[in-house]
Chain A
Amino acid sequence: MPSERAITPSTLSVKDLPWQIRWSRDTCTLCGKCTAVCPVNAIELGVFRKRQLEPPLGFMEAPATVYKSYYGVRQRTDSAYACVGCAMCNLVCPNNAIGPVRADEADKLRFHVDRGGQPRRRGGRRNVPGVLLDRLKFIRISMLTDPALDAGRHEFELRTLLGRVLPPEENLKHVRENGWIPPVREIYPLIVGGMSFGALSPNMWEGLQLGVAYLNEELGMPVRISTGEGGCPPRLLRSRFLKYVILQIASGYFGWDEILHAIPEMKEDPCAIEIKYGQGAKPGDGGLLMWYKVNRLIAAIRGVPPGVNLPSPPTHQTKYSIEESVAKMIQSMSMAWGFRVPVYPKISGTSTALAVLNNLTRNPYAAGLAIDGEDGGTGAAYNVSMNHMGHPIASNIRDAYLTLVKLGMQNQLPLFAGGGIGKSGNLAANAAALIMLGASGIQVGKYIMQAAAGCLGSESDRCNICNIGLCPKGITAQDPRLYRRLDVDDVAQRVVDVFLSFDTELKKIVAPLGRSTSLPIGMSDALGVDDHHTAERLSIKYVV
C-alpha cells in the first residue's frame, strides 16, 4: 500500500474479505487463465517489487540492496471486486497454484457492500447449512410379519396426482352422469421447479427440457418441469413436448402474450398452469431480472424491450386481494384451455398458508397448492429477503396436510413442497420425508442446477452471482461467451442421471417400509426425529 493512500472507512485488506486468494509463486506458470476466467475480476496480474539484500563474500565490498520485480496474481480489495469464492481460478489452473480460501473469521466486507445505498443483492441460496429434513429418519421398517421389499426387483408404482381429485362419491357420480371431472395428471413426484428463461441461460434451459423429454419419451418417467416466470420459447409451445411443461404465470406476466397467442396452435395442452404468488427465497417480493441479463432473445420471449430492468411486482397488480386473485386467475386460466388443464397457485412458505389453503378447498377449480419454503433458491434477490424471510417447509406442509385431513380433503387438493429439498445432497431422503409428512410431490430447482450443470453455490456464500449474468458455469449467464461453457446435451444427460438415481434411492426408502403400490403420502408413522419438540410439532415419533 503506498504510504500516501487515504484510508477510507471502506478500505479493506485481503484479510477483511470473505474469500482470500492463495497463490503459489512456485507452481504458477503465469498462464493468465485464472485472471481471465474470474467472473468478478477479483484477481489481476500483479507486478511485485521486492527488495533483496545481497551481502558480498569477503570484506571488500559493502552489503548492497537489490531491487527485483516478479510477476504474479494480486487480489483486489475493492468491495465491488471482492472474490466470491467460486474457485473458477482453481478449476482452470494447470498447476493447482491458485484458489480461494474461506476467511478464518467473519468478514468485514458485509458491512461495506451497500455502496451507493444499495443493499446487497445476490442470487443463490440462503447460506444456512443443514436442514431439518436431514434429521428425519424412516423408522417403520417391515421386519418379521412381512419382510421388506426388494428395491431392485419389485414392481413399484411411484406416481402422484396433480389436479383436483373429487371426493369418491362425487367423482363417481360425475362418471355415471358424464359430468365435468377436473383434469388430473399422473406424474412423477419429483418436479423440476420454476426457473425462468432469463434467469437461466438458453443452454441450461434447453438442456433441462431435453432431459425431461428424454425421461418421458425414452424411459417412461412422467417427469414435469415448470417454466418459471419468463415465458416459453414459441417452438416449444407448438410442440408435442408442451405436455411435459408446467407453464408459470406470475405478477409480471412475462411471456404470456406469446403463450396466449400460441394457444390456437398448440398440439398438446400443457401439463398444468402454475400461478406464482410468491417464492420461498424472497417471500413477498417479485422477480428481479436486471437489464444486463435482458438480451434480445429474452426480451423477445418475454415480450419486453431489450436491456431494461424487469422487476416483477410483489403481487398481481390487476387483482385486489389474494382470494379474488386466486379465484379469478384460476378461473381465467382454466377457461383458456377449456377446463382441461389443472391450474394451481404457488405461494411462499408462510404462517398464513392455511388461509390460502382453506380458500382453495372451497374453490372447485383449484388443482393443488405448491408451497415454497425458506430454503428456496433464486436468480436474484435482496440478501435480507433470502436470509431472513420465509417459513420452513416441513411444518408448513404438515400443517397444510393435517388441515386437509380435518376437512377430509387430503386426497382432493394435492400439496407440492419446495425450497431447499436436497440442499445437503440428500434429495431422495428429503423428498420422501416431505411426502410422508403429507406432500403429494416435490419441486426442486437448486439441486438440479448443481447436479445437472455443476452450479458452484454452497451453503457458505460461495459464488451467488446468478443475478449479474456472470455465472462462471454458464447456468444463469446470458452472455454467449459464458453460456457456451455449458453443453446442452451434457445437461440433459445429467438431468436423466439425477432422476434415475433419485428413483433408485426413493425405492430404497419405500421398499423397506413395505410400500410399493402407491406413493406413501401422509405415512407419518414411518417418520421419527431425535428432537422431542420437533416430533410433537410435526406429529411424528420421537426417537433417540
Chain B
Amino acid sequence: MCRLFAIASREPLSPMVAIEALNVMREGHDGSGVGLFLRDLSGPFEDMKDAPILSGIFSEAGLKRLDAFMMDVGFMTKYKISIKVPKTPPAGVPRRDVYLIRAYEYPEEWEGLGPEELQLRLMTTRLKLRAMGEEKEDMIVFSFWPDVIMIKEIGDPLAVARHLQLDRKELAARVILAQGRQNTNYAINLYACHPFFIQGFASMTNGENTAFIPIRTFLESRGFPGYIGYNSDSEVFTHILHYMTRTLGFGIETYKHLITPLQDEDIARHPDAHFLRNLKQACRPLIIDGPNCVIGCLPDGSLFMVQDRKKLRPGVVGGKPGVYAFSSEICGLDAAIPLRDKSRDFQPMYLDTAVVGPGRQEVRICRQKEPLPLPH
C-alpha cells in the first residue's frame, strides 16, 4: 500500500525531509513512483506568491511548444528552476529532458479578473497543456497555480530525489505532501501518481477505492471541465473535496460526511440529522467504499487527514506547535519530528477528521457525531 507523508511547518523545509520520511517507510512502497506537492514556498518564490507556477516534465520539443503556447496566451516567464539531471538516470527512473518549475506573470488581459474567473482560466490552461502533451507525448503537467510546486517521477523516492537534487536551496516549502507509490493502477502512468491537484486543493490517498467507477461517473457528469483524468482511483478524493468546497460551499468538517457518512441510526441521533440525511442521500454516489486514508491540503494551507472505518491501520498525526506532520506509518513521523511529545500523537479513527490549520499551532479534531459548525 502507498506510503503517505505530509508536513506543515512554520519554518521552510527542504522536500528531503519528506523524502527521508518516505524512505523509512520504504517497505510499504515498491518504488513505482514518488509525488511531491509543495506549498507556501520560500526562497526565490517567497516574493512572488501570486505568480502562477507551472510544474511538469517536458521533452525539448515539448518545451518549445509550451513556450509558443504560453507566449501566445500572453504569459511571461518571471522565474524558473531548471533541474538539469545527469544523462543516465538511476535504475527504474526514465530519462527525461527537463523537469520544469516556472513562475509566470499573468497576461495583461487577465488583469482585473475576478478570482473565480482567474482560477478557472488557470485550470483551463493546465488542462490545455495536458491535452497538448497527451497528443504528442512531449509534456506532462502537474499543476499551474500560485505558490504551488509539484514534482512526480517513476522510481524509488530517494533515488529520484537524489537524481533531481531536491536538496537544492531554492526548493523549500512550509507545506509538503509526499507519496511513495505502490503501483495499483495496472499501468505506470505519471498522471496516476499522487498527490492530485485541482484549483488549490491537493490530496493523496492510500488503499483502494472500490466505489471508484460510480464516483467517477458522478463527478464526470457534473459538467465541470476539471473533473477529468482519473488515471487513479484516488483522484476522486481531490475532486470530491473541490466539489464539496466550491459547489456545495462546505468546510472540511463536512468532508467525511460526504465520503463516509454516518450510518442511519447514528444520523437519527445527530443534532444535524435533517441536514445529514439529505446530504447522504443527495451525495450518495460520492460515498467511498475504502479502505482509504486521505491526506489533503486546502487552499489556505491547512492539512487534514481522514480515513474510513475499514482502514485497519490508520495514519497518524503528531508534532509540536510550529511543526506538525501526517504520516501513514508512525516510523515516518518519528523520522521527521523525532523530538515531540509522542503521547500526543493522534491516530484519527473512523469518525475523526484531523486538521492542522494555517497557523500550525495545534491539531484540531472534528468528530462526525459532533454538531456541524453553523453555516457562514
Contact = CB atoms under 8 A, between A and B. Distances in A.
Interface in A129-156: 140, 142, 145-146, 149, 155
A161 B210 contact: no
Contact of B278 (A175, A407, A521): A175
A157 B263 contact: yes
Residue from B212, B218, B284, B375 whose CB has the most chain A CB atoms within 10 Å: B284
Nearest to B250: A172
Given A167-B282, A515-B289, A517-B308, A146 B247 contact: no
Interface stretch (A39-47, A267-275, A458-466, A522-530): A522-530
A493 interface: no
Nearest to B275: A175
Contacts of B290: 146
Nearest to A406: B221
Given A521-B214, A522-B213, A525-B213, A168 B287 contact: no
Nearest to A181: B278
A224 B155 CA distance: 54
B264 A410 contact: no
Contacts of B285: 410-411, 521-522
A306 to B, nearest CB: 45
A184 B213 contact: no
Given A146-B208, A514-B208, A524 B213 contact: yes
Nearest to B219: A408
A145 B212 contact: no
A169 interface: yes
B225 to A, nearest CB: 14
A155 B290 CA distance: 13
A518 B221 CA distance: 20
B210 A171 contact: no
Nearest to B182: A145
Contacts, number: 104
Contacts of B184: 145
A143 to B, nearest CB: 10
B248 interface: yes
B188 to A, nearest CB: 15
A474 interface: no
A157 B279 CA distance: 16
A517 B210 CA distance: 11
A514 B289 contact: yes
A61 to B, nearest CB: 91
Contacts of A169: 247-248
A513 interface: yes
Given A142-B208, A149-B310, A411 B284 contact: yes
Contact of A408 (B211, B212, B222, B281): B222
B365 interface: no
A165 B223 contact: no
Given A145-B184, A157-B263, A184 B281 contact: yes
B217 interface: yes
Nearest to A171: B282
A521 B284 CA distance: 10
A487 interface: no
B287 A513 contact: no
Contacts of A524: 213
A407 B221 contact: yes
Given A145-B1, A146-B208, A165-B284, A408 B223 contact: yes
A168 B208 contact: no
Nearest to B311: A146
Interface of B: 1, 182, 184, 207-208, 210-214, 217-218, 221-223, 247-248, 260, 263-264, 274-275, 278-279, 281-285, 287-291, 308-310, 375
29 contacts: A140-B210, A142-B208, A145-B184, A146-B210, A146-B290, A146-B291, A157-B263, A157-B264, A161-B284, A165-B281, A168-B248, A171-B281, A184-B281, A186-B264, A405-B221, A408-B221, A409-B221, A410-B214, A410-B221, A517-B288, A517-B289, A517-B308, A518-B284, A520-B211, A521-B214, A523-B210, A523-B213, A523-B214, A525-B213
For the complex of A and B, the 10 pairs showing the least CB-CB separation, nearest first, are A408-B221, A514-B210, A171-B282, A168-B282, A518-B287, A146-B208, A525-B213, A145-B208, A522-B214, A515-B289
